[in-house]
Amino acid sequence: MTPRWVIWLGGILLAAVIAAALYFPSLRHQVDKVAQLTEKTAEQARRELIPPAPVRTGGPMVKAKLYWGTRAQDGTLRAVIVDLPLSDDPALRAKQVLNTLLAGPVDPEARTLPPDAALLAFYILPDGTGIADFSEALGTSIPSGIQSEQTAVESITRTLEANVPQVQRLKILIHGQEVDSLAGHLDLTQTFQVNGSGLAAQPARSGTSIITRPIQKAYEKMKAATKR
Amino acid sequence: MVVLDPAHGGTDLGARGTEGIRESDVVLQFAAQVKKSLEFQGFQVIQTRDANDNPSFDDRSARVNAQRGAVFITLHVASTGLEGTARVYVMPEIPPAEHPNGLIPWDKAQAPFVGLSKKLGDLVQAELAKRFKGSPTTAQLAPVRQLRTTAAPAIAVEISSVSVADRADLDRMVPGVADAIARGVSEFKLSYVVPTIASPGGGTQP
């Protein structure tokens, strides 16, 4: 016959297992919540280090068009309209839209730029060249690859094209320096075409790289015309 | 001749997957099979690297720029993109290079070859699209750093992706990618004429 103390011990162990099984999902939920909170806090800290671009206080909200990716992460960009109090000053306006682009879309899977990257400076030269100086994280945290790097730059150029017509082309610096490539693939020694219609209508200036898809279509048309 | 460039290497691992897949390793495996397929088609093939080292962009370009009539193919594996697809990238139009001494500036070496690169890229991409559903049917334009300093028809082939759950999914793509590249290059060779560069004296030089 089984001693009474063994039955009691078995009962206690069984109760402990049931209690643990009931408590585990709640514990997991709490751990996930804490992890999310830590992530947000890190990102918040980074943003606090970068002074936000001055905004036109009291001014009317403007419908800014920002280009983020899609969940498919296949290089497709999707325009999202965001109400922003945009400045009339082109450089400040560029900072505002790029900071919003960096902050990311509602769906984090549609991000085109790494969450820990920051825009350190943006200025516009008299010839219409915009200089965007990003932190090192733009190159080190972006998913490596031609497609992902091209998508990142394209999201920047198309966002500028839609909101800051004064920027004709874009030069990307990393921490104030020109670098060879973004993350081993996309050429950052050149400038990227921002505003201005396509290759066929307006030949690129020296050192200009063109990456937008409409321009690729223009290239195809030009090639077909050359063949004829 | 074909110069094959397995990208990255050494301390530069390239794209990294959650399952420990490293682009710098995978491209060496792809390159070995592509080399076999090209040699089977009668091409002489050299690689910019055979081991886990990392030549600079310019060192890799120098391997092909020292050859006459060669083509250049750089192999990559992406972090993103539809798994099981492959894309070919070529440089967009580069403004005509000034060559007062009859020489092309190193940083615009690709300029005279952009049209030929697009043709080669389209041929290889068409072959890839036949084998890998969901791949584009024509080459894409992208300012890839490695291609800019290359004085030859030059393309970048990017496979998706290091994010596959099982490395075997990428391994299964190796023969198809190798065959597609070999067939595309063979077809390109039939019409490939090395461009001539105008010299200061008014003549031309190959």
Distance from CA of A148 to the nearest CA of B (A): 6
Distance from CA of B141 to the nearest CA of A (A): 7
Q: Which of B58, B74, B79, B99 to mutate to test the interface with A (most CBs of A within 10 A)?
A: B79
B155 touches chain A (CB under 8 A): no
- Residues of A contacting chain B (CB within 8 angstroms): 72-75, 143-148, 150-151, 180-181, 184-190, 192, 199, 203-211, 215-216, 219-220, 223
Interface predicted TM-score (ipTM): 0.91
Q: Where are the domains of chain A?
A: 62-227
Q: pLDDT tens, B136-190?
A: 999 999 999 999 999 999 999 999 989 898 899 999 999 999 999 999 999 999 9
- CB atoms A146 and B118 under 8 Å: no
The residues, ordered by sequence, that sit 6+ positions from A98 with a Cβ below 8 Å of its Cβ are A119, A122, A132, A156, A159, A160
Residue-level pLDDT at B37: 97
Closest residue in A to B136 (Cα) is A74
- Average pLDDT over chain A reads 79
- Residue % of chain B over a pLDDT of 70: 93
Q: Which of A187, A192, A199 to mutate to test the interface with B (most CBs of B within 10 A)?
A: A187
Q: pLDDT tens, A13-43?
A: 888 888 888 887 778 777 766 665 555 555 4
pTM, to two decimals: 0.78
B119 touches chain A (CB under 8 A): no
Instruction: Give the pair of three-digit tokens for residue B190.
Output: 């039939």
pLDDT at position A217 over 50: no
* Low-confidence spans in chain B with pLDDT less than 70: 97-100, 197-206
Instruction: Give the pair of three-digit tokens for residue B38.
Output: 């090209």
Q: Which of B23, B54, B80, B164 to mutate to test the interface with A (most CBs of A within 10 A)?
A: B80
**Residue B14: its chain A contacts at CB < 8 A?**
144, 184
How many whole angstroms separate alpha carbon B59 and alpha carbon B52? 15
Residue B91 identity (one-letter amino acid): M
Instruction: Sketch out chain B's domains with CATH numbers.
Output: 2-205 (3.40.630.40)
